[in-house]
Amino acid sequence: MLLRELPSASRDRIEQESVRRMCSITPTHLGLLSLTVLLITLATSIGLRMQDRIEQESVRRMCSITPTHLGLLSLTVLLITLATSIGLRMQGLQVNSELLHRVNELDGKFQNLSATLQQNRENGKALCSILRTQAELLCPDGWQIPTQSIYKFSTKKLNWTVAKNECESQNSHLLIIDTQQEENLIFDSIPKKNIQYFIGFFENETEGNWIWIDGSPVRSNGWQRNQPDNWKNSNEACGTIIVDFFLHNSGWNDVSCSSQYHFVCEKLPPFCSAAADFGNLCT
């Protein structure tokens, strides 16, 4: 029979009984509940204790230092020290190798320089031998070094100023006649007779006052006859020399400085040294 088919009063009693049974808590129920809570609490406490012991054991094991541990630690430190020492030694060897390379390189350069110097010495000795031989040919032993000048007679014609510059460009100067012996030498050496050659004297600002280009005065007995004459007042202020075969009137003449003539350059002879001098230089 279904519950809804019962009378209303009966249905109510049955529902109230079911609720009472469900909600009734007996001492047995309380005891079982208390035991369950106690077991759970004990299990939790035991679990926490076990976790603490496990953690403490782990820490103890991690922090415990035995002689074996100390030995391993010492060995590790020793290996690290040894590796560091070997690294420093290797670095030192590398530096020493580079220094040795530099030393060898410098030694090679020094050897090359020594060879070059030795070759220069040999070349110098050969040059000294040549110079000594030439000195013996130019200035034989016992001969005096010449004191007179050497001369060059031009083949071209220039005015006096340009001729002077031409001589100076050749490390010489227009001829200066110092003695009668030198004048005689010039007369004998002039290649073209009856032709005038500019020489190194001129008339300064004072009329009739003739000087050489070195500032020394011109003697009066070297002129041709009737010279200087400043012919036709043409401002003849520069001097020439001529060998006049026709009139037998050799000597000096005054001419215009702007006229063009041959000219004579003069300079000291090349340096002449005795062979013994080269011997002293080449030792």
Tens of pLDDT, residues 53-70: 666 666 566 556 677 777
Strands (E), the chain: 150-153, 173-174, 197-203, 210-212, 238-242, 251-255, 262-267
Average pLDDT over residues 205-232: 84
Map tokens 């500032």 to a residue: 215
Range 250-259 average pLDDT: 92
Q: What number is the average pLDDT over the span 226-245?
A: 83
Alpha carbons 31 and 34: distance in angstroms, whole number: 5
Structure-block tokens of residue 27: 């001492």
| Alpha-carbon distances, residue 13 vs 4, 8, 19, 228, 230 (angstroms) | 13, 9, 10, 188, 186
In the DSSP assignment, the letter for residue 244 is -
Under 8 Å between Cβ of 165 and 173: no
Confidence label for 202 from pLDDT (cuts 50, 70 and 90)? very high
Cβ–Cβ under 8 Å, residues 261 and 199 = no
The end-to-end CA distance of the chain, in Å, is 158
Per-residue model confidence as pLDDT tens digits over 102-126: 888 888 888 888 888 888 888 877 8
Residue 21 pLDDT grade (very low, low, confident, very high; cuts 50, 70, 90): low
Could you identify the residue written with the tokens 């279904």? 2
On the CB side of 173, CA atoms within 13 Å amount to 10
The shares of helix, strand and coil residues in the chain, as percent rounded to the nearest 5, are 55, 15, 30
Distance CA 230, CA 234 (A): 6
How much is the mean pLDDT over the chain? Answer: 76
Confidence of residue 3 (pLDDT cuts 50, 70, 90): very low
The one-character DSSP state at 30 is H
Of 188, 255, 194, 268, nearest in space to 228 by CA: 255
109-122: burial string, b at 16+ Cβ within 10 Å, e else:
eeeeeeeeeeeeee
Query: pTM of whole model > 0.75?
Result: no
Please answer whether residues 236 and 254 qualify as being in contact, where contact means their C-beta atoms are separated by less than 8 angstroms.
yes
Tens of pLDDT, residues 149-185: 889 999 999 999 999 999 999 999 999 998 888 898 8
pLDDT score, position 105:
84
Cα–Cα distance for residue pair 149/265, rounded to 1 Å: 10
Tokens of 106: 């410098």
Using a pLDDT cut of 70, give the percent of the chain over it: 64
